Chain A
Amino acid sequence: MPPKSQLWLLATLVVAGIVSAFSGRIDPYFLDVTMGVGIAVTLAASLNLINGFTGQFSLGHAGFMAVGAYSSAVITTNFGPKLLPLVGGQVWILFPLSLVVGGLLAALAGLAVGAPSLRLKGDYLAIVTLGFGEIIKVIFQNVDAVGGARGLVGIPNYTNLFWTFGVAAVTVYVVWALLNSTYGRGFLAVADDEVAAEAMGLNPTRYKITAFVVGSFFAGVAGGLYAHLKGYLNPGGFDFNKSIEIVVMVILGGMGRHVGVILAAILLTAVQEPLRQLGDWRMILYSLLLIVLMITRPQGLFVWPLWKKKQA
């Protein structure tokens, strides 16, 4: 019998599949928001591995998301007509393949960024990842094959509830399983004290790169889902503000907490919708909230002493 955690994952996938099958009866607007929530959970959980558990500070998650989004969109949009017949015209084969390829390319980008910059700490690392994120954006703006600054349009709308929540569940499982083992405690040890971790025989660089690569992979997959949800991509959408949005989810969720970060991702995405009615005031309120929360609850929104003990 598989372990309990894997049964949970399986159950979530089955439920996502069933609900998805009936998604025709769900209000399209609500459906759209719900899928956005699923993507946000994937992004937040994957960044949580890097920033929360391994104690790094990446401000470039949107850049990796962009790599995944563009790669998978190019596969389905530009090469879809040629590739589809090869898989018997089955979208449910082509689409996840394109997501995985997007994820792998994002992971590759994560490796390229991570490997040289991991010597840096704290705000320096933050700035380098921010820089990489912006460079990725500028590159996409300058490549005409993917629409340049105008963006990429006509991406098929393959994303549905099953894929968004399936991917979110897999991401959460992977991050959880990776950490809940003797091997995985090394991530936390590296975050706590790198020098001591090294003295205990842990290779900090390997842990950090693993976190970066795995985190970037899922950011890339989330990007692919996003591309096939919206139907178009605009390089400006993957700027620094998008990265900040994800970072805020991780911080308000309580850096390095599984449940808190998922809740924060759901809350922050869902709350955007009613706030839209506020128009210009929305972002003003958002930034004020951010400042006040950082001052009053830097440990996150959902962290109480009781929880802390349970998860430690």
Chain B
Amino acid sequence: MSVLLQLDNVTIRFGGLTAVSEVSATVNEHELVGLIGPNGAGKTTVFNMVTGVYQPTSGGIAFAGKPTASLKPFELTERGIARTFQNIRLFPSLTVFDNVRVAFHLHLEHDALHSLSRGPKFHREEIALRERTRELLSIFNLERVQNEPAKSLPYGDQRRLEIIRALATQPKLLLLDEPAAGMNPAEKIELMKLIQFIQEKFRLAILLVEHDMKVVMGICQRIHVLEYGRKIAEGTPAEIRANPAVIAAYLGQEHA
């Protein structure tokens, strides 16, 4: 198994505050990795560095063997990193269908001029894309609401739509930022199944930031643990569960 994402001694400071300090971690191809830690441990900050929203102060990040420094978020998406957001960020006024369709954009051959000339090539491509969008929506049972504006969906569906939209960019690595937030236990079980299903079906690597230990322990193959911006442990779920540093970090916070 080869390394897909590599963080090498990554540090980021905001003013005087060191949010993430010398974190090294890897995600292999086709691997489901968890990133956990108490509130404010720097999990989302790591996400934002991997996706190019923030630039690390020092240290390096490499994706598929190439450094990602100074790449913009959309350039990283082109290279195969897709993400969801902690507080859902759909395109609220677009329809469910268009939310997904627009994410196929990267694999379009047509552009502004083709939109204007509307020649046969444009039509072929549009038809194919609509077909693929419908296909993707139907896998997740959302085609029944495809013409509704995204903002009108119930919360759980919005979360799923965000994941589908990320899949439409055809990523090699999918970053999920607290996908189980705000879900009840039954929904969480659904979500765990969904994540595993996605990983199998689309053969991709997933990095999962999650608060809920049951979700992470239940599906991840490997887990990185952050506390106060530093990495304190790494290992399989069983190893993490037995790790004294992790237990200490979590017992102060919540009984997971």
Contacts and interface: CB of A to CB of B under 8 A. Distances in A.
A199 interface: yes
Residue in B92, B114, B118, B125 with the greatest tally of chain A CB atoms within 10 Å: B118
B70 to A, nearest CB: 15
A192 B147 CA distance: 17
B90 A196 contact: yes
B165 interface: yes
A186 B74 CA distance: 13
Contacts of B98: 185, 188-189
B77 A200 contact: yes
Interface string A181-199: 1111110110011011111
A174 B91 contact: no
Nearest to B175: A199
Contacts of B82: 199-200
A200 B163 CA distance: 11
**Interface residue tally of chain B, by bracket?**
35 or more
Interface in A153-198: 174, 177-178, 180-186, 188-189, 192-193, 195-198
B147 A201 contact: no
A189 B118 contact: no
Contacts of B123: 3
Given A185-B101, A200-B165, A203-B74, A178 B112 contact: yes
A183 B85 contact: no
A6 B165 CA distance: 31
B91 A193 contact: yes
Contact of B91 (A183, A188, A204): A188
B118 A5 contact: yes
B13 interface: no
Given A197-B91, A198-B72, A185 B102 contact: yes
A202 interface: yes
Contact of A186 (B72, B85, B93, B105): B105
12 contacts: A177-B116, A177-B118, A182-B104, A183-B105, A183-B112, A192-B90, A195-B53, A199-B73, A199-B74, A200-B82, A200-B168, A312-B147
Interface of B: 51, 53, 72-74, 77-78, 82-83, 85, 89-95, 98, 101-106, 108, 110-112, 114-116, 118, 122-123, 125-126, 129, 147, 149, 165-166, 168-169
